[in-house]
Amino acid sequence: MRPFTYIRPATPQEAVGAFAEAGEGARFIAGGTTLYDLMKLTIERPAHLIDVTAVRGLDRIEMDGDRLRFGANAAMSAVAGDPTIGRDYPVLSEALWKAASQQLRNMATVGGNLLQRTRCMYFRNGGGGIYPCNKREPGSGCAAIGGLDRGQAVLGTSEACTAVSPGDWPVALVAMDASIEVLGPAGSRSLPVGDLYRLPGDTPHLEFTLGPGEMITAITVPKTPAGRLSTYHKIRDRESYAFALTSAAVALEMSGDRVEGARIALGGVATRPWRASEAEEVLIGHLLTPELALAAGQAAFRDARPGRHNSFKTELGARTITDALIIAAGRGRT
Amino acid sequence: MSTTAFPNRARVDALAKVRGEAKFAADLVLPRTLYAMTVPATIAKGSLSSLPVEAALRVPGVVRVLTPEDFPAPPPYSEDGPPPPPTLETIIAYRGQPVALVIAETLEAAIEGAEVIRPTYVAEAFACVMESAGAQRQPADEVAFGDAPAALSGAAATVESTYDSPTQHHNPLELIATVAVWEDGALLIHESTQASSLVKGAVAGALRLDPARVHVRGATMGGSFGQKAVQRQTALVARAAILTGRPVKLVQPRAQIFHTATYRARTRHQIRIGADADGKIVGVQHHVEQEQSPNGYFAVSEYHRDVIRMYGIRNYLGTGADIRLDRQDSGYMRGTHPQPAFFAFESAIDELAHKTNRDPVEFRLANDTRVDPQNGHPLSSRFLNECLREGARRFGWSRRSPVPGSMTASDGSLVGWGMACGIYQSATTPAIATLRIDARGHTRFAISGHEMGQGMRTAIASVLIQDLDIDPERLEIALGDTRAAPQHMTAGSWGTNSVVPAAMQAAQRMRAAVADLLDGRQVSGNLHRKLASIRRPFLQVEVTTVGPGQDQAALETLRQGGFAVAEAVYPEFSTFSYSAHFLEVRIEPRTRRIRVPRVVSIADCGRVISPRTAHSQVYGGVIWGLSHALREATEIDPRYGGYLNEDLADYVVPVNADIGEIEIGLIDQPDPLANPAGVKGLGQVSMVGISAAVANAVFHATGRRIRELPIRIEHLL
């Protein structure tokens, strides 16, 4: 636990300016549900914290026009509890409800959630001095490979890192083709949520594509009728308050029992929120049966590279997709 | 022996706890307190080669850094019992061992100071799990009677299997906290502990202090379960208080507790069991191996003690071994030895019942015993079959379709109904109690014992309020305080049944003393009013009690702060508590999540003194049993030693949403021999057997026998 400075700017411009001024070792902080943890674990050692929770107007939930727009500071619980989102986009609502606990959802923001760091035990635990980790200390190696890797990723891994991207919300957003709005020293830009995340490759310590001092200001989701036939199905080691072993965000466009459009993204199994286009292709144009749903699930894991203790994730992941598809399609029949 | 049932009183400390008024050790803030933080070793075995402290001393607020040089040499070997935990040493025996203690004006400074200390080490090869090269296998004493191999060779049916139970850590919500105060040449230690006298002895021994100058005050506890006995940290904090002359406080972070506190040893049980053509068990061979620290005293033979008495088994061969590893000591954890042993044994019973086409309840009922199978002595009370029949009735067991996989729910889930039994010895400790009633309305009862949330204080209050006309609002029950009464460790389900008889005897003696004092005079009002009327400021009585077969020597051991347990195989009879658990699992057809929507658990713990807290004990035991079966395992990467999942996010325990309906029943029949109150232990037996009931239900649902815990989704895909 090292001393740090702390300020609370009132506008996005001030926040970005403060970051640039602080220089090395600056971090934005919102709900603090990840960053404070990582500071206690000595993984994050910021010298300056720029608290963006006092930035005005950044917590709005807007539904005018052709996109849903969530201010980055909106609490997870606020979006999760929004009745329109719950009705028209259950995949978004469920992804939030099934994450963390009510207390954490009250604190954590939907913008900060996108930047949550991995829960890989070798990354977080051991007080920083025990387990080699290429994320924590580039070039030191990866203890998870060849180790206790039950929780590790089977998709998108590299020789340097198999850490799972931990979020639920980003998975749902990737399925729904969402984008983020970003403000930085060079002005504002927007990018698809999927493009926020890097594959580990040789540089697993580089996780996000945000530039220095860039801050997420909003998340936008294109409106679609597929939102109604959607779900976020999450399988974990207990009923709540746990990260996914496998999860699937699914949204469908159906014509009767025939699949016209399918969006599938996976959590708990990959190094970034994982769009499973192979699985989507299996479904398009066909009648949705349990058998076809399973075939789609299996297609998603065709390129899986399991380790020593996590090979079950390919089978469980395929079955999770199967159940998610059946749940989502079932929402059209009520 | 109590002939009538006790009323259902509220927990005496419930209001204080829910209002946040109860003070735990970590809540204590004394003037001028200094804060401590330990520096854990980063190697699993070897020695310190340097311990530079300058960087820590430069951190603003850091007052001092204690290193091995600040401590006396360990006391010489004594045969009186286990030595006190080591203090700070240059030899590293396990990863996470404390090597330095940073003392600072604030917690933040202490943490920062601890973080900047970078010791260097000479590392050595180590072995940290059963499979590690270099693990030392050390055979244990046999426990045998009859001729099990011969009996099994003649059995009509036998089964033989190996069952694995993982390393587990207690993880009570409350962290381990110590506050030490050095004043006028005496040490006062406030600690969350279930063994204040042992803490006193250990600190005095480690620091070479006169025990008469060391006092320990057990604070309100936020769960213990065997973890909060004697901690390595206590003497460190005490030494810091002596060296700085100020109160010193250490609340150990959870990740460190994983590495320093005791834990449930990983065990492997090989069981061979056979029955004759009539379904009578003819013999059992049980070989158990446990992971053990290099000098750990945690006896392997105790895995047999309770198994032997579960049924009428005439031939038993119990063998075992310690696997010596470079780890900290394992220790007691709720249900301790029977917990893993009964996952194995009651799974094996289920396998044998299945193989012989017998209903598992009927099979058990038919193997009842009235005598202790090892020595032929009577069992003082045994209502196991009553537990079985009552549980089966409440659960609706007769509606079970016996074929595995034959029951499904409307949503397609596989349904499994499983059951298993538990047993735990009902041991006793001596007690020395003082009861004082004064004319101003106050009553104080002081005795050996620790309130860990199990309800000991409520049980004592139940007795005193029932037997004495006193003001219940002003009844103080002093527990866990070495200044108030000689203290014995509270553990092993011997708490309530050791203190309640003393409370009853004290009440009886008090009534007699009052009668003597009044000498036939009619004085109105409660006891306080009576004393006031006759102008007696107070009346005090002292009583002593011992367990069956114990004498004055046990009381003397208690006075010395020693270990004076009368194990439940008493000289003339044996006393055990029993439980029978019935539960339903539902398993999702595709993703194979296992849920437990309902449990019925019936226990025979003799006379129930405090129904409210007794029920709570069983709820807790059942839930932890489910956790043992389906959730908890401490992960050790053999390449690094230590424990990988060192926090509550990664060490998976159940959440409320995991727990379904739990129905509790207590037989509430007094034991006629064990003690005058008729009480037997309850805490442990309520948990023993649950994990086997889960595994048996999973088998019934799926036809798949899972012999390793925890049972997870991947076992059933």
Q: How large is the ipTM? A: 0.96
Establish if B646 belongs to a structural domain. Answer: yes
For residues B395 and B384, what is the distance between their CA atoms, to the nearest angstrom? 16
pLDDT at B1: 55
**Any CB–CB contact under 8 A between A239 and chain B?**
yes
**Chain A residues lying within 8 Å of B120, measured CB to CB:** none
Establish if A268 belongs to a structural domain. Answer: yes
Cβ neighbour number for residue B514 with a 10 Å cutoff: 20
| Domain end point (choices B531, B559, B587) | B559
CATH of the domain at A27: 3.30.43.10
Nearest CB to A245; choose among B640, B642, B713: B713
> Looking at the structure, do residues B422 and B432 belong to the same domain, yes or no?
no
> Looking at the structure, do residues B446 and B537 belong to the same domain, yes or no?
yes
**Any CB–CB contact under 8 A between A316 and chain B?**
yes
Among candidates B650, B632, B708, which has minimal Cα distance to B168?
A: B632
CB B490 within 8 A of CB B449: yes
For residues B346 and B422, what is the distance between their CA atoms, to the nearest angstrom? 8
> Looking at the structure, do residues B546 and B593 belong to the same domain, yes or no?
no
pLDDT at B4: 80
CATH of the domain at B437: 3.30.365.10
Establish if A116 belongs to a structural domain. Answer: no
The gap between the terminal CA atoms of chain B, to the nearest Å, is 53
**pLDDT at residue A334 tops 70:** no
Establish if A292 belongs to a structural domain. Answer: yes
CB contact under 8 A, A131 and B637: yes
| CA dist A26 → A18, A19, A41, A47 (Å) | 9, 6, 18, 6
CB A112 within 8 A of CB A30: yes
Establish if A120 belongs to a structural domain. Answer: no
| Domain end point (choices B260, B283, B300) | B260
> Looking at the structure, do residues B216 and B100 belong to the same domain, yes or no?
yes
Q: Give SS3 for B440.
A: coil
Establish if B156 belongs to a structural domain. Answer: no
> Looking at the structure, do residues B579 and B702 belong to the same domain, yes or no?
yes
Count: domains in chain A: 2
Among candidates A207, A267, A297, A210, which has minimal Cα distance to A19?
A: A210
**pLDDT at residue A23 tops 90:** no
pLDDT digits 0-9 by tens, A82-113: 999 999 999 999 999 999 999 999 999 999 99
Instruction: Give residue A278's domain range.
Output: 230-330
Task: Give Cα B573 distance to the centre of its chain.
Answer: 24
Best mutation target, A123, A238, A247, A313, to test chain B (most B CBs within 10 A): A238
pLDDT at A1: 63
Please report the beta strands in chain A, taking only residues with DSSP state E, as ranges in sequence order: 5-7, 26-29, 48-51, 61-62, 67-71, 179-184, 187-192, 215-222, 230-235, 246-255, 258-267, 274-275
> Looking at the structure, do residues B341 and B376 belong to the same domain, yes or no?
yes
For residues B578 and B420, what is the distance between their CA atoms, to the nearest angstrom? 11
**Any CB–CB contact under 8 A between A238 and chain B?**
yes
For residues B205 and B211, what is the distance between their CA atoms, to the nearest angstrom? 8
pLDDT at B117: 97
Which residue type is seen at B238?
Answer: A
**pLDDT at residue A4 tops 90:** yes
For residues A273 and A266, what is the distance between their CA atoms, to the nearest angstrom? 6
Nearest CB to A42; choose among B115, B637, B713: B115
B514 Cβ neighbours under 8 A, 6+ residues apart: B527, B530, B539
CB B646 within 8 A of CB B259: yes
Nearest CB to A316; choose among B40, B591, B635: B591
CB contact under 8 A, B592 and A129: no
| Domain end point (choices A54, A72, A90) | A54
pLDDT digits 0-9 by tens, A150-182: 999 999 999 999 999 999 999 999 999 999 999
CB B238 within 8 A of CB B180: yes
CB contact under 8 A, B714 and A316: yes
pLDDT at B247: 98
| Domain end point (choices B527, B559, B591) | B559
Q: Per-residue DSSP letters for B626-665?
A: HHHHHT------TTT-S-S--STTTS----GGG--EEEEE
CATH of the domain at A274: 3.30.390.50
Q: Report how many Cβ contacts below 8 Å link chain A to chain B.
A: 84
Establish if A137 belongs to a structural domain. Answer: no
Establish if B382 belongs to a structural domain. Answer: yes
> Looking at the structure, do residues B541 and B649 belong to the same domain, yes or no?
no
CB contact under 8 A, A241 and B714: no
> Looking at the structure, do residues B610 and B626 belong to the same domain, yes or no?
yes
Residue-wise over B452-483: b if at least 16 C-beta within 10 A, else e? bbbbbbbbbbbbbbbebebbeeebebbbbbbe
- What are residue B134's phi and psi, to 5 degrees? 90, -5
Nearest CB to B591; choose among A119, A143, A235: A235
CB contact under 8 A, B112 and A42: no
Residue-wise over B646-682: b if at least 16 C-beta within 10 A, else e? bbeebbbbbeeebbeebebbbbbbbbebbbebbbbbb
For residues B1 and B501, what is the distance between their CA atoms, to the nearest angstrom? 9
Establish if A124 belongs to a structural domain. Answer: no
Burial class, B384, CB count within 10 angstroms (exposed 0-12 / middle 13-18 / buried 19+): buried
CB contact under 8 A, A125 and B646: yes
pLDDT digits 0-9 by tens, A44-65: 999 999 999 999 999 999 999 9
Among candidates A39, A41, A37, A10, which has minimal Cα distance to A25?
A: A39
Question: Can you state the percent helix, strand and coil of chain B, rounding each to 5?
Answer: 30, 25, 45
Count: domains in chain B: 3
The encoded tokens of residue B636 equal 């050790």
For residues B126 and B116, what is the distance between their CA atoms, to the nearest angstrom? 26
Nearest CB to B658; choose among A130, A238, A312: A238
CB contact under 8 A, A242 and B654: no
CB contact under 8 A, B655 and A320: no
> Looking at the structure, do residues B85 and B224 belong to the same domain, yes or no?
yes
B573 Cβ neighbours under 8 A, 6+ residues apart: B372, B377, B378, B379, B380, B548, B673
Establish if A158 belongs to a structural domain. Answer: no
Establish if B1 belongs to a structural domain. Answer: no
Among candidates B654, B658, B662, which has minimal Cα distance to B583?
A: B662
**Any CB–CB contact under 8 A between A315 and chain B?**
yes
The encoded tokens of residue A232 equal 């976020």
pLDDT at B610: 95
B224 dihedral zone (left: phi>0; alpha: psi -120 to 50; beta): alpha
**Any CB–CB contact under 8 A between A39 and chain B?**
no
Among candidates A78, A125, A96, which has minimal Cα distance to B642?
A: A125
For residues B645 and A242, what is the distance between their CA atoms, to the nearest angstrom? 13
Establish if B19 belongs to a structural domain. Answer: no
Instruction: Give residue B619's domain range.
Output: 267-426+571-716
> Looking at the structure, do residues B442 and B554 belong to the same domain, yes or no?
yes
> Looking at the structure, do residues B384 and B242 belong to the same domain, yes or no?
no
pLDDT digits 0-9 by tens, B259-318: 999 999 999 999 999 999 999 999 999 999 999 999 998 899 999 999 999 999 999 999
CB contact under 8 A, B652 and A237: yes
CB B177 within 8 A of CB B252: yes
The gap between the terminal CA atoms of chain A, to the nearest Å, is 53
Establish if B246 belongs to a structural domain. Answer: yes
CB B583 within 8 A of CB B647: no
CB contact under 8 A, A125 and B652: no
> Looking at the structure, do residues B543 and B607 belong to the same domain, yes or no?
no
Closest chain B residue to A130, measured at CA: B42
According to DSSP, the β-strands at A26-29 and A48-51 are parallel
Establish if A207 belongs to a structural domain. Answer: no
Q: What is the nearest CA distance from B260 to chain A, expressed in angstroms?
A: 14
Establish if B313 belongs to a structural domain. Answer: yes
Task: Give the residues of chain B that fall short of pLDDT 70.
Answer: 1-3
- What are residue A282's phi and psi, to 5 degrees? -60, -30
Q: Give SS3 for B465.
A: helix
CATH of the domain at B204: 3.90.1170.50
**What is the mean predicted confidence (pLDDT) over A313-325?**
98
Closest chain A residue to B710, measured at CA: A237
Which residues of chain B have a Cβ shorter than 8 Å from any chain A Cβ? 40, 42, 95, 108, 111-112, 115, 255, 590-593, 595, 631, 635, 637, 639-640, 642, 644-647, 649-650, 652, 654-655, 657-658, 712-714, 717
For residues B470 and B487, what is the distance between their CA atoms, to the nearest angstrom? 26
Establish if B370 belongs to a structural domain. Answer: yes
